[in-house]
Structure 1
């Protein structure tokens, strides 16, 4: 058996790199990191402090979702320190989301879509709302 240490990165396809970068930088607060000089457009981001990364890849193929938030669809999750603060931030940014403060998962969850309809889960260890 392999000894897994952590998830290194998640890759998502996007259609419009500038639009995607604005979302991941301005809404989610990810910091762009250096990316090798591939022969296709994209961007890499540091996620948190544990070395995990998000890789955006420009793609014009048929790999994109069309619908709204489907929490059973492929997604990645980031952990935040405060559910309430994350929800307030998304409200200030005008981002639509599905909040599950008392989720069956055992921790509060917020689901959002990026501009290309990739599903992102934002969760916290505990619910700190009212």
Structure 2
């Protein structure tokens, strides 16, 4: 049997690494961390005890092209405040779908990055 300890990282494919870095670094303010010198182009981010790995693939055949769809594959980040997250997204002009009274038992906000990867931000009700 496999004994799991924790989730280590999530990898997403992006078509243009510099455009993706502007979004994740400049808009979302994710913390970039050192990446080993792989042959592929990419960048890594720390999200709490976990990591997000972006890998550039200009062909991007597996990348979705449609708008936000919470039923698609995505990753979720727990945030301290639903209200502050919505305010930040509004200021940054990032489109989102907000579910302040989600049946999940917590608030949900969905966005897409420039390559249409879905990102979910979750927070406690009334936060």
TM-score by length of 1: 0.93
Q: How does 1:1-130 map to 2 (within 5 A)?
A: 1-48=1-48, 50=49, 52-59=50-57, 60-128=59-127
> Following the alignment from structure 2 to structure 1, what is the Cα–Cα distance between the partners of residues 73 and 56?
18
Contact map agreement 1:107 1:127 (CA 8 A) in 2 = no
> Following the alignment from structure 2 to structure 1, what is the Cα–Cα distance between the partners of residues 89 and 13?
22
- Cα distance 1:104–1:57, how it changes in 2: closer, same or farther (>3 A)? same
Q: Deviations over 1:42-93 (max 9, x none)?
A: 0000012x2x000000012311101011101000000000000000000000
Give 3-state SS (helix, strand or coil) of 2:26's partner: helix
Report the CA distance between 1:4 and its aligned residue: 1.5
User: Following superposition, which runs of at least 4 residues in structure 1 exceed 3 angstroms of deviation?
Assistant: none
For structure 1, the 5+ residue unaligned runs are none
Contact map agreement 2:13 2:60 (CA 8 A) in 1 = no
